[in-house]
Structures are given as structure tokens and as C-alpha cells.
Chain A
């Protein structure tokens, strides 16, 4: 009896993280999160998007938190598909294979995979934000605010998404301050506050006076605040964690996309597609996109004004984040530029696995 009690307790708690609401002939939308919404970063912003869907009439949502990336995710996604969800968002790159595998087993369910590029079935879409547009503005600010000319960059995994961010940042920074250098620390995790903090402290001890992070927690911002240097907010507005440190936050904004896709399922107009929205949906000054910048702080007024002008130009399509000519690490002209393009193409950006000129370090091919 005692053993049964213990087992029951353990199994009941395993599914304790499920946030569920009952459904009646409504459109059910499921979400798979890689971390906790309380990270106040990446997962938090997806959960804000989920709440926007939940607020619509006729929609209910379910979220599974802390789902491990890789094959283990199959079970979690299947669980949502089995329980009558019509649309499932899997919100991390590492869910790519699992999403496509489950999608093959449930042809009537629609799947949306964030930041991936594989759409193996008719019922799979992919979507991501052009977060590198935020990095361009960050790079401009860094070039003008740094005193040591050393930028500390905490990077998670060597995937195109992260490398693109580093390149966009440094391309713009070098344009305005050729002496600026970046030191990259790969932490190989999306979320580990102690590790992110240790990396930030190491970079600051080594002379960096601006910290950029491509991980999920505000720990680097908190360390920068304590050390009296500057930092950027990542994925959500992190200004509250760095009153004197915070420069600007790149905020992920999934609300419009999630609402649009949920309505498409309800109306029967959903189709497999790939969406990549920047500051604006079309990149030409149209509807609100998937990325915005929040709370410019702690910089001179003229720097702030020019940073905002760059943001506006990117949003309106007046300029591109990666304008030609762009030289690669070895000094060669980027292929797109050699082929007469005015900027790098989306195809090149999606598969970016090389550094631009001026960044040290190697990336395995």
C-alpha cells in the first residue's frame, strides 16, 4: 500500500507541470516549451503568445514546460496530439526532428516548429523572428558606448541563429568603431543561470565593458549590473534587472503570429509555410513583426537617436542588416555579394556557419 502510494505520488507529480483548461468543441492549441515561462526570457515570451491565443473566443490552450530537446520530446508532442489538440507549436530548435516525426503520425493535426527549417509533411510549418535585426542596433550602440573596445558575447550553441546574431552585431559595430573586438564564450546551454553568470563575470574580469548574451536568463544582466558595466536584454525586456546596466532589450513578439495561425486553423485556411518576420511582418514597414526593441537606457542622447533611426530604417526596409560588400573571416568576398546581390540572401542567412572578417575563432563545418 505504501509503495503504491509513493508511485502514485510520483506519477501524479510528473505531469504536475501541465497547464490545462477543459475544452468543448473549441479549437485546442498546444505548446511545447524547452524551459520554464518563469525564465523571463525565451519561454516567457512564447507563453505571452499563448495567452494571446487563450484570450480569443473559442480557443483553449495547453502548455508542457521543461520538455527536453531531442528524441524525448516525441512523447510530449504525442501526448498533445493524442489529447485532441488541433494545432501544436514546438518552440525550440531542438524539437525539429521530434515535431516532424509526430506530424507524420497525426496528419489531421497542424504543427508549427519555431526556428527550424525542416517541413517533412504537409501539416508542418516553420517560423522564426529575424532577431538579428535587433543585433544590428545593439552593435551600433556597442561601438559608441564601449570604452575598453571589448565586447563580451555569451553564446549558447554554434547554430546559424546564434552565429547570425554575432555577425550582425559585429558587422554594424565595426562599421562605426573599427577597434571594437568581441570575445565569445560558448556555454553550450540555453538556460543555466549559474553558468551564464560565471561566463559574464569571466568576460568582465577580462576587460569587457558590454555583455551581449544569446541565452535565456537575466543572469548576465544581473552580473553586469553588479560589476558596473552594460548589457542587453535577450528575448524579453530585462531592464528591471539592470537599472544602470541595461542598454536595450530585443523582445520576441509571437502574439500576432500565434493568433494568425490559430485563426487559420479554426477557419480551415491553414497551410504549410515558412514565416520569418523581423521588426515588421513584411520587412517593408507593414504590420507588426516578431521582434521589437524595448527601453533604450544608459546611453548618450545622440547615440540613442541614431540607434532608433537604424531600428526605423530596418523596419521600413530602407536598409538591410547584411548589406554588401561583406567579407568573410578569411578575407574573401561573401558569395552573394560576388554574385551581384545588394545584401545577403535569406538562404545564406538561414545556413550561416561562418564568421565575418574581424571575428576570431573557428566554427566546425
Chain B
């Protein structure tokens, strides 16, 4: 029984981490008064960038070479190469977000339209670039599995092995970033400026804060985090494999999570992990009780989406708290008054 709980927790970390990464980034974006619906698009482009980077960075030793063409190779990846690929994913995610930032902050385009455009751009562009655009068909490219942070023998340690030692670098990173973002928003002066810009951009501007610059920076931070979330899905969640549309709506889930968590980092964490745990539990229940009715099976499939929403709505239904946490200028275009 305890083994089952550990298996579910380990699986839930894999499922919750991309949601958590993307939602942490978008939380800061929304706190600065910008709503970027393009999370899904940024995840796809960032994920592809990370995959291509890792493909190029991995150590590849040719084991069967004929006339200078390699027919079979032994590939391996170390943590440093993986971190390099993650940096590329974050940078490309931030650059993609900058396109959205330019449209909404410079041209004052509607946030919703520009965000939806970014989602479609991300899907279309990653499809094209991941095909045969660079001379390599990345849908068929093979990249070695990223090793766990700790030596393989450590993963045999009970409890801590699968939950801590066997995890991917981005899992602890997502917790660190969550705490960092919470601290930044609520305990630093820069965080206060971000919130001020999100509450009332005209007042913030009158006080001398560079509203557009602050928002460009938060937008790019959101893009970098979405890029990392995409890289986690493409590289670490299963085994490295680029597939068009591989995120299958996780960006939208991250957006919904922030809403139901009423812009509070702790509740984003709670929501992401409730989702992860229920999603990990669902196939296990189906496997153990394999003679369950299909109606119940259908219901279990819907549970990972129902439970976090219900829980977050129940604990966040205080209207005063929602008003206090929701950025008042969310989604409004800012035009400096002279």
C-alpha cells in the first residue's frame, strides 16, 4: 500500500511539474496586469527549441560508419548538456513571449487576440520547424534519456529514491521558483512595483515607474518559464521525443489553474499537485479494478479536471480575497497620458 502511494507521488511529480512551471511564470505576468493566453504556444516552441538543442549537444559516438555516413550511434546526455538545452528553451520561450509583448505593449494590441494568435503561431511554427525545416526530421530524431540528478544506485533507496534522488532537475527547480516568486512578489520592492503596475498602471506611471518595461520583463519571464515547461514535457516527462502538439492543452490548464487559485502561489502549487495526484491515481484504479464499469471509467477520466477546480473554488470563494488578489488592470492596454 505504501509502495502504491510512493508510486502515485512519483508519477504525480512528472504530471504536475510542467503545469507548475508554466503557471508560476504566467502568475507574474498576470500580476503585472497582462494576460497572455499564448502559454500553450510558448510551451511548444520552447519545448522544440530545448529538444533541438539537446539533440545537437548530446554526446554521439558513431558505432557503424560507412563511407562517412553514420548508420548507428551510441548517444548519451549529461546534466550540463541538459542544462544547456534548458537555457535555450527558456531563451526561445522568452523571445517568443517578446513578440506578444511587442504587439500588446508597443502596438497596444488586444491581449486576448494577441495571446490566441501566439498559441496558433506556436502550434504552426513548431510543426513546421520540427518537421524537416532544418534538414533533420525532429519528429524521428533520437535523443538519449536525461539521467537523474543523483547516481542510479541511490534511486533504490526506499521512499527517498523514487521521490527525490530519481527526479529530474526541473522538479526541485519548480519548487525553488515557486518560493522565489512568492518571496519576490510579497517581500521585495521590485515585486511591489510589479503589483503596482498590475493594480493601476496610470498611478504607477505617475509615480515614475516604467510600466511598459516592467510588463515586457514579466512577459519574457513568463515565456521563459513556459519554455521550460515545454522542455520538461518534450524531454523529461516520458523520454526525449518531439511530437507536434505534444503539450495537448497543458498551457490552458496552467492558465485555468491561476484563475482558480486566485493568483496565490501556494494555491497554484496545491492545484497543480491535486491535478497530478488524481491523474496518476486514475489509471492505477483502472488497472487494479479492471472489471469496473465503463461509465465509472469515464468518470475517473474526468476527475483530474474536476477535483482541482472544485477544491480551489471551495477554498478560494471569499470575494474579498479574490478582489484583493486579482490585479485590477488585468488585460487592459496601457497608453501613457501626457
Interface residues of A (CB under 8 A from B): 2-3, 5-7, 9-10, 13-14, 16-17, 35-40, 44, 65-66, 152, 158, 182-188, 191-195, 197-199, 201-203, 205-206, 208, 217-219, 222-223, 225-226, 240-241, 360-364
Contact = CB atoms under 8 A, between A and B. Distances in A.
B239 interface: yes
Interface in B276-290: 279-280, 282-284, 286-288, 290
Given A186-B286, A198-B11, A203-B287, A193 B243 contact: yes
Contacts of A192: 248
B324 interface: no
Interface stretch (B204-212, B214-222, B264-272, B294-302): B294-302
B201 interface: no
Contacts of B120: 10, 13-14, 16
Interface residues of B, number: 56
| Secondary structure of the B contact surface, majority rule | helix
Contacts of A37: 139, 244
Contact of A10 (B113, B237, B288, B298): B113
Which of B7, B114, B121, B238 has the most chain A CB within a 10 Å cutoff? B238
B3 to A, nearest CB: 8
25 contacts: A2-B103, A3-B109, A3-B110, A3-B113, A6-B109, A6-B114, A10-B113, A10-B116, A10-B120, A17-B123, A35-B245, A40-B243, A65-B127, A183-B290, A184-B286, A186-B286, A186-B301, A199-B286, A201-B11, A203-B287, A206-B288, A219-B238, A226-B239, A240-B140, A241-B239
Lowest 4 A-B CB distances belong to which pairs? A38-B139, A16-B124, A36-B244, A2-B107
Contacts of A17: 123-124, 127
Given A9-B117, A198-B283, A38 B294 contact: no
Nearest to A184: B290
B286 A16 contact: no
Contact of B127 (A2, A38, A184): A38
A363 to B, nearest CB: 6
B202 interface: no
A360 B248 CA distance: 31
A223 B117 contact: no
A66 B239 CA distance: 23
Interface string B100-111: 000100011110
Nearest to A152: B287
A66 B283 CA distance: 26
Contact of A186 (B117, B291, B294): B294
A191 B128 CA distance: 19
Given A193-B241, A205-B4, 18 more contacts: A5-B103, A6-B107, A13-B124, A17-B127, A38-B131, A40-B139, A40-B243, A185-B283, A188-B297, A198-B15, A198-B280, A201-B11, A202-B284, A205-B284, A206-B287, A226-B239, A360-B290, A362-B291
Contact of B128 (A16, A35, A360, A362): A16
A62 to B, nearest CB: 16
B290 to A, nearest CB: 4
B102 to A, nearest CB: 10
Contacts of B244: 36-39, 65-66
A185 to B, nearest CB: 4
Nearest to B333: A2
A217 B248 CA distance: 12
Contacts of B237: 193-194, 197
A361 B15 contact: no
Contacts of B239: 222-223, 225-226, 241
A193 B232 CA distance: 13
A202 B124 contact: no
A31 to B, nearest CB: 16
B142 interface: yes
A217 B293 contact: no
Nearest to B4: A205
Contacts of A208: 287
Contact of A222 (B125, B139, B241): B241
Contacts of A218: 241
B294 A13 contact: no
Nearest to A150: B287
B190 interface: no
Interface in B216-255: 233, 237-239, 241-246, 248, 250
B131 to A, nearest CB: 7
B280 A222 contact: no
B329 to A, nearest CB: 19
A203 B283 contact: yes
Contacts of B107: 2, 5-6
B50 interface: no
Contacts of A184: 286, 290
Contacts of A364: 293-295
A194 B121 contact: no
Contacts of B241: 193, 218-219, 222, 241
A13 B117 contact: yes
A199 B283 contact: yes
Contacts of B291: 360-362
A202 B285 CA distance: 9
Contacts of A217: 243
A192 B305 CA distance: 15
B130 A38 contact: yes
Nearest to A15: B124
B7 A205 contact: yes
A73 B1 CA distance: 46
Contacts of A361: 290-292, 294
Nearest to B301: A188
Given A13-B120, A240-B142, A194 B286 contact: no
A19 to B, nearest CB: 9
Nearest to A1: B107
Contacts of B298: 186, 188
A6 B248 contact: no
Given A6-B103, A205-B284, A362 B294 contact: yes
Contacts of B145: 226
A10 B288 CA distance: 46
B127 A36 contact: yes
Contacts of A191: 245, 248
B113 A6 contact: yes
A6 to B, nearest CB: 5
